[in-house]
Amino acid sequence: MSRTPLDTVEHAAATPDVELPWAELGLKKDEYERVVEILGRRPTGAELAMYSVMWSEHCSYKSSKVHLRQFGEKAPENDALLVGIGENAGVVDVGQGYAVTFKVESHNHPSYVEPYQGAATGVGGIVRDIIAMGARPVAVVDPLRFGAADHPDTKRVLPGVVAGIGGYGNCLGLPNIGGEVVFDAVYQGNPLVNAGCIGVMRHEDIHLAKASGAGNKVILYGARTGGDGIGGASILASETFDDAKPSKRPAVQVGDPFQEKLLIECTLEAFQEKLVVGIQDLGAAGLSCATSELASNGSGGMRVTLDDVPLRDSTLSPEEILMSESQERMCAVVEPEKVDRFLEICEKWDVIATVIGEVTDGDRLEIFWHGEKIVDVDPRTVAHEGPTYERPYARPAWQDELQADDANKLPRPRTADELKDQVLQLVASPNQASKKWITSQYDHFVQGNTVLAQPEDSGMIRIDEETGLGVAIATDGNGRYAKLDPYTGAQLALAEAYRNVATTGAKPLAVSDCLNFGSPEDPAVMWQFAEAVRGLADACQQLGTPVTGGNVSLYNQTGEAAIHPTPVVAVLGVIDDVARRTPVAFREEGQLIYLLGDTREEFGGSAWSQVVHDHLGGLPPQVDLERERLLAEILISASRDGMIDSAHDLSDGGLIQAVVESALLGGKGARLVVPDGLDAFTLLFSESAGRAIVAVPRSEELRFTDMCGARGLPATRIGVVDGDTVEIQGEFSLSLEELRTAHESTIPALLA
């Protein structure tokens, strides 16, 4: 894009008729005309580069922000919330002077193009968001969605993604404690690679992304800027995939976890010495984002000399430098008298650091190249005043037909042998089978503070060794439910993550989300998005768990085929003492198994309907948020007071899936009876929400049932931990060995 003569601000003003490649950079005609209107002239090539990446769907949320406002408008009162939506990540108070920051983001399209680097740099980017808040990263989680498990392209994408996540996270020394893996043909050309990170700090260590104080220096530090990832995530995630348009596939960023580890330690030491006024990581949109956001969030302007940016490739044009999304880079604003010490710390950690500019007392972002001004903009117009679209949306014509195709009417097993066979089919299906082959490639226990990790209901990290204070995190989302009803589907995602946190004994506090949808230019997709956001905002308000931030990923479709609407919800919880956590595994023979909650005939979107009948239709399970709150309170109290020894939420696969997982993890069998009012099929396969199973020591049975009765929570004794089989009395029995073979052999056979 470089021109001769250099396309300076002065040259742009004097040459209004020069044609610029705005369409090639992803801008619409009216968007380009708005840039001209804002500037009062045509943009320079460098300005066009900045507006194109910052006004992309990925960076500006131009199709989604009219709906996302509900998260603020409906935000519940919550004393724990310290930093909310609008910063690099949300921050919550977890007690004892500690604050925890957490966020989930997407790296979907880059991971399809280049699975290893796409996934690796997704981890790297979310970790830098956490560092930028002033926190030390302590754990990562990865919710993943792939195409059909037996499809050849899944065998290309999945191993690379898993290796990228494991390789980057393991090298950083961060335990991977949660997430999930889902297979469905709808994700064939659009895998979802969402990455989350948790960081811990003291309250006084919170940092924000702003450039304040005229004369303060802007320091770029970390890796050199290269040609990898020019326009990468920002443009790549803002277009529908089309194999005929390779120009829509910019180079995916290349990660270096060892450089990022140095960057973490360097940054935390600078924070410790109070050297930093404001900070921003360089992720999507690179320097364009860091400079414009720091300046627009501060009290003045900024002047930057682009010649001072350390390069890996000396042939890069100024436009390419501004658009590059090279990894492992950050921007810090530092007072002049502290610059030397900041640079000393960078040198100690072998991190390249360069003063590239300073904060001014004006209101403009000015960037220079070879002594000439090539950018002169109001930074707010770049970072925060991009287009806002009220996209048309409409309930799709096929929705009624889909919901009328009721899964509750599918043929059910007629004999005990058929019931037994369908249980084996379920636990061996790719989505319900053990993911050990995948998760064993991640280090769960590095740093020594992990107390729960996959396949537990939620991951849990100890953050204070003396008191045992800890936090738990769970990520959930069922695209099949959301396809049937996006409003309810989003609420079910929140409810499941909320429940998963509570089963471990932690109190749910706050939410981050990653909203994965198809093209916003399709009114049906936009309706799904609007309904999901409305559902999530309403549910967060009722449960008292504010959305602290997150990510929207649109254009997840190839041609006309969109993915299922997939809102992934992360819930963070706090536990006073991790020693009182509750695991999933059955631990003691003779303990009593109780089913908490109500079981109804609810099979719409269920694992049973998918595995046995390859069917999607009907309505998803009902949501009762007050029941979810009550269930959580009882699970937390029972865990704290030692009334239960294990707990497992009921969700995908229903009760039988939960019982099999608890039995296999503990190496202890279970004998179950079908309670009055239910048949064996409904007991085993229903996916009614607001339920969990718990194992209660006999000595605690009366105390536990009295508590449930007093609070009005249905608690039904359905069996006992016993032997080396899972037996449904009067129906069938399956040995743990037989179940383990079915459960653990599927994924290695498909992917090894």
The residues carrying an active-site annotation are: 58, 107
Give the burial class of 224: count Cβ atoms within 10 A of its Cβ; 0-12 exposed, 13-18 middle, 19 or more buried.
Answer: middle
* Cα–Cα–Cα angle for 358, 364, 367, rounded to 5 degrees: 60
Give the burial class of 406: count Cβ atoms within 10 A of its Cβ; 0-12 exposed, 13-18 middle, 19 or more buried.
Answer: middle
Q: Distance between CA atoms of 543 and 433, rounded to whole angstroms?
A: 31
Give the burial class of 17: count Cβ atoms within 10 A of its Cβ; 0-12 exposed, 13-18 middle, 19 or more buried.
Answer: exposed
| Residue 61 vs residues 393, 430, 607, 747: alpha-carbon distances, Å | 16, 34, 33, 37
Show the 3-state SS of 403-461: HHCCHHHCCCCCCHHHHHHHHHHHHHCCCCCCCHHHHCCCCCCCCCCEEECCCCCCEEE
| Residue 267 vs residues 215, 222, 349, 455: alpha-carbon distances, Å | 21, 10, 10, 33
Q: How many CA atoms lie within 13 A of 29 on its CB side?
A: 0
Q: Minimal CA–CA distance to 572: which of 476, 483, 641, 640? A: 476
Q: Distance between CA atoms of 564 and 652, rounded to whole angstroms?
A: 16
Other Cβ atoms closer than 10 A to 278:
24
Q: How far is CA 304 from the centre of its chain?
A: 33
Question: Residues 356, 358, 359, 364: is their CA dihedral positive or negative?
Answer: negative
Evaluate whether 256 touches 223 at the Cβ level (below 8 Å). Answer: yes
**Residue type for position 669:** G
Residue recorded with tokens 């004999």? 415
Other Cβ atoms closer than 10 A to 347:
12
Phi, psi (deg, nearest 5) at residue 615: -125, 140
Q: Distance between CA atoms of 420 and 46, rounded to whole angstroms?
A: 65
Other Cβ atoms closer than 10 A to 281:
26
Give the burial class of 370: count Cβ atoms within 10 A of its Cβ; 0-12 exposed, 13-18 middle, 19 or more buried.
Answer: exposed
Other Cβ atoms closer than 10 A to 428:
20
Evaluate whether 198 touches 495 at the Cβ level (below 8 Å). Answer: no
Enumerate residues 6+ apart whose C-beta is below 8 A from 578. Answer: 451, 460, 462, 468, 469, 470
Residue recorded with tokens 């936009």? 526
